Each structure stands twice: as C-alpha cells, then as structure tokens.
Amino acid sequence: MNKCIKRIVMKLGKTLTKMPLLNSFRGKIKFKNKSGLLIKCKIKSKGNGNEIIIGNNCVFKRCSFTLLGNNCKVLFDDNVFAQNAAFFIEDDNGIIRVGSDTSFAGKIHIACTEGAKIIIGRDCLFSSEITIRNGDSHSIFNINSDERINFAKDVIICDHIWVGNRAMINKGVLISSNSIVGNGAIVTNQFTEMNVVLAGVPARIVKRGVNWNAKRN
Ligand SMILES: CC(C)(COP(=O)(O)OP(=O)(O)OC[C@H]1O[C@@H](n2cnc3c(N)ncnc32)[C@H](O)[C@@H]1OP(=O)(O)O)[C@@H](O)C(=O)NCCC(=O)NCCS
C-alpha cells in the first residue's frame, strides 16, 4: 500500500471496504468529513498535483474518476449524488466543479480537456446517457492556414438546471439558471437567458418564462 492509499484509508474509515476497485491514485483525495461514500468507484490518476475534493454527505456509486494530466481537479460541494458517472480529465490544469445538491441520476460522461473548465452549479438534475465535454478530443485545422480551429472552451451550467435523457452538451456552452434541456438535445451555444427550455439539434430556446422542480405535481 503506497502513502496515498494510506491517506484514503484514514479519511474514509469504514467506507473503504465498499471501494474494492480503487486503483493507484497519485495525488490527493480529500473528504471534508467522513460522511461521504464511494461505493464500487474507480479512481485513476497519472500525473502530479491532481486532486479530488469531496464535500459533506456526497454519495458516488459505480463512478469513475480519471485524471490523466498534472494539476487537475475534480471538486464536489456538499450533497452531490452520482451513480454510473464518469468524470474524466485529460491534459494539464483541467477542472470539473459540481455545486451542492446536484444529482447525476444515471450514466453520464463528463470529459474535460486542454485545461478548460466544466462548471456545474447547485441543485442541478441530470438524467441518464448524457455527455458533457468542453473539447473535441481531436484537432480540426484550416487547410489554408494550417491553424487549429477547435480549441477547448469552458462549459458553464448554472444553478438549478434539469438536463433530460441523452442530451449532449458541447464545448463553450452556457446554460443559465432555472432552465431545462430536452431529451436528445445537442447544446452547442451560449444561452444567457434564464428560465428557458432548450431542445432540438442544435438546441434552441423552445419556451421562455418557465421553471421546474423534481416533483410530479
Ligand atoms: C424539454 C421538455 C421537458 C419540455 O416539455 P414541455 O415544456 O412540456 O414542452 P412541449 O412538449 O410543450 O414542447 C415545446 C416545443 O418544443 C419541442 N420539443 C419539446 N421537447 C423536445 C425535444 N426533446 N427535442 C426537440 N423538440 C422538443 C416541441 O415539439 C414543441 O415544439 P412546437 O412548439 O414547435 O410544437 C420535454 O419535451 C422533454 O424533453 N422531456 C424529457 C425529459 C427527460 O428526459 N426526463 C428524464 C427524467 S430526468
């Protein structure tokens, strides 16, 4: 057992027994207290200075955290719930930040590249089979100038956003608070207006002046 894994044992106490797939993790994982749970999660880090910081009362079931760069950070505020979520950072200085009370109900892939950020606000609800990426993972060049045209750009999903099944959120997207993303939407633009429904391919505003809650009445 290396030093890093010893530190996780101390921080997690009993919950380590529920974490049989723990791989070697070079960097730090910090729980703000001992109330967090990692159940059947995989953690992989290659590089230096990587951190996963988890707030109070967070629960992660069958999630993976992959940090393949240096000085990458995955940060969760309090009461985050995720199952079957993959948090993936390639390249240096990437940041994935998730606000308090946000839930990832089903399979979701969050891919962060080229040192850009993915910021998710408070009280958001993500359905299943969703992809969020702040880069394209491969390069596109202008054939005349040879210049690259598709650099990664921050993704910002503000507070209280509900994202429907099979939505995809691409680089540079901004979704403003209290909004809803319809199922199957491919979101590619910045939406500065709050309280809207975004839907379609590419996603457009299909309704204004709405809000949502997680209940059915
Ligand atoms: C986004 C959603 C919540 C909006 O519901 P709503 O406010 O009742 O919207 P409406 O059904 O009145 O549709 C408004 C317009 O948007 C269009 N639209 C709605 N959802 C759409 C979608 N997913 N893709 C493309 N267009 C869509 C409608 O065709 C309609 O267009 P029109 O005005 O030209 O007729 C709903 O359509 C949706 O996608 N539900 C799935 C949610 C989900 O994935 N839940 C999983 C559990 S978390």
Rounded to the nearest angstrom, the distance between the alpha carbon of 136 and the centre of ligand 1 is 27
Atom of ligand 1 nearest to the CA of 162: 48
Q: Please report whether residue 62 resides in a domain.
A: yes
* Number of domain units in the chain: 1
Q: Please report whether residue 194 resides in a domain.
A: no
Contact indicator for 29, 8 with CB cutoff of 8 Å: yes
Asked if the peptide bond before residue 20 counts as cis, ω within 30 degrees of 0, the response is: no
Rounded to the nearest angstrom, the distance between the alpha carbon of 107 and the centre of ligand 1 is 21
Distance between CA atoms of 213 and 217, rounded to whole angstroms? 9
Q: Please report whether residue 210 resides in a domain.
A: no
**Nearest alpha carbon to residue 197 among 187, 209, 206, 185:** 206
Closest residue by Cα to atom 16, ligand 1, is: 206
Helix (H, G, I), strand (E, B) or coil at 199: strand
**How high is the pLDDT of residue 175?**
98
Provide CB contacts within 8 A for 58, sequence distance 6+.
Answer: 36, 37, 76, 78, 79, 80, 81
Q: Please report whether residue 96 resides in a domain.
A: yes
Q: Please report whether residue 126 resides in a domain.
A: yes
Contact indicator for 51, 28 with CB cutoff of 8 Å: yes
Which of the listed residues 169, 181, 183, 210 should we mutate to test ligand 1's pocket, taking the one with most ligand atoms within 8 A of CB? 183
Rounded to the nearest angstrom, the distance between the alpha carbon of 211 and the centre of ligand 1 is 14
**How high is the pLDDT of residue 33?**
57
**How high is the pLDDT of residue 47?**
87
Which residues approach ligand 1 with their CB closer than 6 A?
Answer: 127, 164-165, 180, 182-185, 197, 199-200, 206-207
Q: What is the DSSP letter of 141?
A: B
**How high is the pLDDT of residue 19?**
42
Residue 17 has a CB neighbour count (10 Å cut-off) of 8
**How high is the pLDDT of residue 44?**
86
Closest residue by Cα to atom 5, ligand 1, is: 182
**How high is the pLDDT of residue 30?**
65
Rounded to the nearest angstrom, the distance between the alpha carbon of 84 and the centre of ligand 1 is 25
Tell me the residue range of the domain where 63 lies: 3-172
Provide CB contacts within 8 A for 213, sequence distance 6+.
Answer: none
pLDDT by residue for the chain (217 residues), tens digit each? 334 333 333 334 334 334 433 444 556 666 665 666 888 888 888 888 889 888 888 999 999 999 999 999 999 999 999 999 999 999 999 999 999 999 999 999 999 999 999 999 999 999 999 999 999 999 999 999 999 999 999 999 999 999 999 999 999 999 999 999 999 999 999 999 999 999 999 999 999 999 999 999 7
Torsion angle of alpha carbons 88, 90, 93, 98, nearest 10°? -10
User: Is the pTM here over 0.85, yes or no?
Assistant: yes
Task: Look up the CATH number of the domain holding residue 148.
Answer: 2.160.10.10
**Could you give the C-alpha distances from 8 to 41, 60, 67, in angstroms and in order?**
13, 15, 17
Distance between CA atoms of 87 and 109, rounded to whole angstroms? 6
Rounded to the nearest angstrom, the distance between the alpha carbon of 161 and the centre of ligand 1 is 15
Helix (H, G, I), strand (E, B) or coil at 104: strand
Q: Please report whether residue 39 resides in a domain.
A: yes
Q: Please report whether residue 191 resides in a domain.
A: no
Which of the listed residues 206, 211, 212 should we mutate to test ligand 1's pocket, taking the one with most ligand atoms within 8 A of CB? 206
